Amino acid sequence: MYATFIAAVLFLLATVTTSVAVRYEARTEAMKESRARVEQTRIAEALFAYREQFGRLPDSLDQLASSPGYEQLRSYRNEWQRYMRASDLSDGTWRFERAASWTVARRDGANSVSSENSCGAGDFTTAASWCGPRDGVWHRLETRELFSEEIAQEKLRQRRTLQLFSDYWTTRQAFPRVAASGQQLGTGQMLPLPVMAGYAGTADSCSGVHVWMGIPLDCAALFDVWGSPVGYQYQSDTYVILASEAPFSAADGRRVIVASPLNIQG
C-alpha cells in the first residue's frame, strides 16, 4: 500500500509540474505574440511615414532604421524580423509598390511567407493581391491604397491656390505672367510656382509665405503633396492651369497628372 501511495504522489506531482509547464509555455507564447504585434504596429507606422516623406517604400528595414527620424526602429532589427518589398506591380489600374514585414514565429522559420498567399493567386512579387499567412503576425502596405487620397488632397491644395489667383484677377482683370526674375510667360508656357515666386529651396526646407505679384503663396501652394514643385501654366489673361505630376503611374505606364484650370468666362 505504501508503494501505491508513493506512486500516486509522484503521479500527482508530475501532473502538476506538467500543467504548470504548459501554462508557462502558453503564457510565454502569448507574450511573444503580443510583443510581435506591437513591433509590427510600430514598423507599419514607420513605413507609412517613410512613404509619405520620401515618396517610396524603403528597400530594407536597415535602410528604414538608418534614416533620420527612424532610428528607434533599430531595436526591431533582430533575427525574428523579416521584410520584403516589390515594385512595379500592376492591378490593371495602377502600377504600385508593395512592402510587407512579418515576425518569425512558426516552426518553418517563416521562410515560405513570401511564396504563400492567403487571399489570392501568385506570390508576393507578382500577385495583384497578396496576404500573409493566417497563423502569422504580419503587416502589408501597398502604395495603391494611398493614391486616391493623395490625388484628392492635391486637388484641394490646387483649388485653394486658385482662389488666390481668382482674387488677383478680380482686382486686375488679368492673371500674372511675369516671374520674380523678370521672365515673362508666353501663351501655353509653364514654369514651377517656386520659380515664379523666386524661391530656390526645396519642399523640406520651405517655410513661411512667399509673395509673388502681391499673391501670398505658402509652401502648400508652391509644392504638391509629394514634395515636388507645382506647375503654373499661363494660357491667357483669363485662363491659367495648375498642374502636378504624381510619383506613380497608371497601369499602362502613363504618369498621373493632377491639374486644375481656372478660366474666367466673360
Same domain, 6 and 127: yes
| Residue 95, helix vs strand vs coil | strand
Write out pLDDT tens, residues 137-178. Answer: 888 999 999 999 999 999 999 999 999 999 999 999 999 999
135 and 12 inside one domain: yes
**Mean pLDDT across the stretch 237-253?**
96
Do 8 and 113 have their domain in common? yes
- Which one-letter DSSP state was computed for residue 230? P
Average pLDDT over residues 15-40: 59
Q: Are 65 and 81 in contact (CB under 8 A)?
A: no
pLDDT greater at residue 44 or residue 219: 219
DSSP letter, residue 185: P
Furthest CA-CA distance within the chain: 113
Of the candidates 52, 250, 233, 244, the residue with the CA atom closest to the CA atom of residue 154: 244
Query: Where is the domain boundary, 93, 124, 142?
Result: 142
What is the predicted pLDDT for the residue at 243? 99
Strand-pair category, 189-192 with 137-142: unpaired
What is the average per-residue pLDDT within 195-200?
97
Question: How many domains does the structure of the chain reveal?
Answer: 2
- Is the pLDDT reported for residue 108 higher than 50? no
**Are 165 and 254 within one domain?**
yes
Amino acid at residue number 231:
G
36's enclosing H/E stretch is helix 2-54
Give yes or no: residues 73 and 118 share one domain: yes
pLDDT of 21 higher than 50: no
Reported as a pLDDT band with limits 50, 70 and 90, residue 134 is: confident
Q: Kindly list the distances between the CA atom of residue 177 and the CA atoms of 67, 138, 235, in Å, as whole numbers in the listed order.
A: 40, 52, 9
Q: Please provide the average confidence, as pLDDT, over all residues in the chain.
A: 86
Q: Which residues contact 171 (CB under 8 A, 6 or more apart)?
A: none
The torsion angles phi and psi of 40, rounded to 5 degrees, stand at -65, -35
Answer whether 223's CB lies under 8 Å from 194's CB: yes
6 Cβ neighbours under 8 A, 6+ residues apart = none
Instruction: Specify whether 46 is located in the same domain as 150.
Output: no
User: What is the reported pLDDT for 6?
Assistant: 65
Domain shared by 30 and 90, yes or no: yes
Considering the domain architecture, whether residues 8 and 137 belong to the same structural domain is answered as yes
pLDDT of residue 24: 46
Position 118 scores a pLDDT of 82
| pTM recorded for the entire structure | 0.78
* Same domain? 109 vs 163: no
Q: Which of 142, 160, 176 is the last residue of a domain?
A: 142
Take residue 43 and report the three cell numbers written for it.
Answer: 514598423
> Cα 210 to chain center, whole Å?
28
Lowest pLDDT segment from 94-98, 114-118, 199-203? 114-118
Q: What percent of the chain has pLDDT over 90?
A: 57
Q: Which residue has the cell 488679368?
A: 174
Which of 142, 174, 205 is the C-terminal boundary of a domain? 142
Tell me the C-alpha distance between 206 and 192, whole Å: 15
Residue 31: predicted pLDDT: 57
Is the same domain home to 131 and 26? Answer: yes
119 and 168 inside one domain: no
Domain that holds residue 120: 2-142
pLDDT above 50: residue 2: yes
Task: Say yes or no: 231 and 110 in one domain.
Answer: no
Of 231, 209, 158, 203, nearest to 52 by C-alpha is 203
What is the tens place of the pLDDT at every residue in 205-231? 999 999 999 999 999 999 999 999 999
Q: In angstroms, what is the C-alpha Rg of the chain?
A: 28
Burial class (CB within 10 angstroms; exposed 0-12, middle 13-18, buried 19+) of 123 = middle
pLDDT tens column, 60-103: 989 998 999 998 888 777 767 888 999 989 999 999 999 988 87
AA letter at 104: V
Compute CA 145 distance to the chain's CA centroid, rounded to the nearest angstrom: 9
